[in-house]
Structure 1
């Protein structure tokens, strides 16, 4: 074989090896992103990104740094002032790119679903069923991170969960659609955002007395043997919550949350009456517990899908496996009947203030 032939063979082999290395690196990206998305300590974010970017050739690093910044809202690559200046943008560039992104997201042919949910209304279960039956990914719409679990891991659970525009745009560009599950009150502003980005809302609610008993039960699952201030940004409760008597625990929950739960329900009703939004209403008692088939059919119709999809959704509704991950607690109605009278009185008194705003019987009577 001639020298030229040897050189060509060596070059071909080198190219193949380089391509194989790049393929192996690309295969690492999803697993790395899964971890990187949830990092919240600046030093760890920079260290992980620096080490990962170092594996890629220089020509790939800017693109990968962009992907990392898109995945973690707190990551900015370490660059010299000169490089930063060469990458800088001005207001006109931002305005044009934002317009392009908004137009693209608003016209994207994908199904976007917001499950606006009162806590403990089977929303996690319903969201999971929708994702399974319709093949849709989950999305976080109130933070610049791909998934809601990352918000929790970053200590963001106490944030209000009203969807914001950047998150609506980024998820509206994913080419797949999504199911977002958030404790979001409605406003005229949010109604316009949902309309702009073609998001179909489903609103879930539950009897308040049952809700608080179920909420306490869920919290005690991780608080009963844990006296820790480290959980504060997860649920906002005092460190000794798990050591308190039930009446005291329920009193804390009810004093803190009753007005918000009522505002949640009233806000969606007011926006609906004003013609600003057209949600599908889902009752925990009447729909989720009593008529899953009817619920599946109503959901599919609301989403504008083929009626045959209702059968797949019903199968997902009936699947009780992995109940802990789906936050399927007792799955019954009437748990609040044994609530202490002192706690019940707080709920009833707070609801009384809203008596002229909305019929709250679905929250008080089931």
Structure 2
């Protein structure tokens, strides 16, 4: 049976409605292992994902035909989950060098998402950032887009009965705190739970990193990420620095400006900060993890 016949059979075996992967599909993928590498930079917005995915793609080109893809179905907002046909294509794609496919998504750890990560052995990296600084960075980004007359993707954070451009400043601030924080809370809580549930299993571990590492020690952070993503190869200090330097040439278009740590603390009032903390961590065990990750 050639690979096209195999592909046809696999496409008929889509994941189940609840997200679980059926046994036939698991068996078919296991019988046809890939020489390619897949990783997802599953970063929430405004934590340096665009910059880091670019640097990682450049670095992996030493050993792979490295390319960035969304790995999701075309959509008009940031709420992109992994898309089975795209992953299936990446699994079977071939070139002179193996492919390294880097995807960048903002995914909640729903079972359809995690089941696909497990099926295709996708390496997951999640970056974290202090929630106050993150929200302020999001707010400033939206203000900048509006000033430039550009489209504002508000699907994740500013859902209401009116467009962002029609909101008053008071309404924008309310949405930032009460809607944006809920999304970030759900994002982190879902992956913390999945990571905890995956301990002592054969599932790929998640690499947790921090935005502060990107600002203070970018070379060490990129080394940590590439070691997690591609443990088979070694990358020198010079190669890692060269990837960072090449990415830094385009930092404006990559929306990386090394945001000032602590500016969120000054932006929000004491009452607003307490409200954000309450939304982010309703359980003591969750709060402890968020504090360890320097989110709170």
Query: For the superposition of Structure 1 and Structure 2, which TM-score range results when normalised by the shorter chain?
Result: 0.7 to 0.9
Separation in 2, partners of 1:96, 1:240: 41
Structure 1 residues 322 and 315 mapped into 2: Cα distance closer, same or farther (>3 Å)?
same
Separation in 1, partners of 2:236, 2:56: 10
**1:292 aligns to 2:222 (yes or no):** no
| Larger relative contact order, structure 1 or 2 (CA cutoff 8 Å, min sep 6) | 2
**1:312 aligns to 2:239 (yes or no):** yes
Residues 46-57 of structure 1 mapped to structure 2, 5 A cutoff: none
What's the TM-score once normalised by structure 2's chain length?
A: 0.75
Q: Which sits farther off after the overlay, 342-351 or 108-117?
A: 342-351
Q: Could you report, residue by residue, the CA deviation over 1:250-305 in whole angstroms, capped at 9, with x for unpaired residues?
A: 321221121221222222222122224411111001x2112223212212221214
Structure 1 residues 94 and 167 mapped into 2: Cα distance closer, same or farther (>3 Å)?
closer
Out of 163, 182, 193, the position equivalent to 2:82 is 163
Structure 1 residues 96 and 188 mapped into 2: Cα distance closer, same or farther (>3 Å)?
closer
**Larger CA Rg, structure 1 vs 2:** 1
**1:116 aligns to 2:36 (yes or no):** no
- Residue 282 of structure 2 corresponds to 353
Separation in 1, partners of 2:243, 2:259: 15
Q: Alignment partner of 1:201: what SS?
A: strand
- Residue 327 of structure 1 corresponds to 255
Measured after TM superposition, the shift of residue 106 of structure 1 is 5.8
Structure 1 residues 197 and 310 mapped into 2: Cα distance closer, same or farther (>3 Å)?
farther
- Residue 122 of structure 2 corresponds to 199
Contact 2:52 2:222 survives alignment (8 Å): no
**1:216 aligns to 2:146 (yes or no):** no
- Residue 16 of structure 1 corresponds to none
Q: Alignment partner of 2:104: what SS?
A: strand
Q: Which sits farther off after the overlay, 312-321 or 267-276?
A: 312-321
Unaligned segments of structure 2, at least 5 residues: 1-7, 15-23
Q: Alignment partner of 1:327: what SS?
A: coil
Measured after TM superposition, the shift of residue 182 of structure 1 is 0.3
Measured after TM superposition, the shift of residue 248 of structure 1 is 4.4
Contact 1:213 1:250 survives alignment (8 Å): no
Measured after TM superposition, the shift of residue 103 of structure 1 is 2.8
**1:95 aligns to 2:23 (yes or no):** no
Separation in 2, partners of 1:310, 1:214: 30
Unaligned segments of structure 1, at least 5 residues: 1-90, 144-150
Q: Alignment partner of 2:123: what SS?
A: strand
What's the TM-score once normalised by structure 1's chain length?
A: 0.62
Contact 1:142 1:163 survives alignment (8 Å): yes
Out of 75, 86, 107, the position equivalent to 1:184 is 107
Q: Could you report, residue by residue, the CA deviation over 1:142-171 in whole angstroms, capped at 9, with x for unpaired residues?
A: 21xxxxxxx3xxx5215x322132221122
Contact 2:11 2:85 survives alignment (8 Å): no
- Residue 279 of structure 1 corresponds to 206
Q: Alignment partner of 1:353: what SS?
A: coil
Separation in 1, partners of 2:87, 2:10: 20
Structure 1 residues 243 and 165 mapped into 2: Cα distance closer, same or farther (>3 Å)?
closer
Q: Alignment partner of 1:343: what SS?
A: helix
**1:343 aligns to 2:272 (yes or no):** yes
How many corresponding residue pairs? 258
Contact 2:10 2:25 survives alignment (8 Å): no
Q: Alignment partner of 2:12: what SS?
A: helix
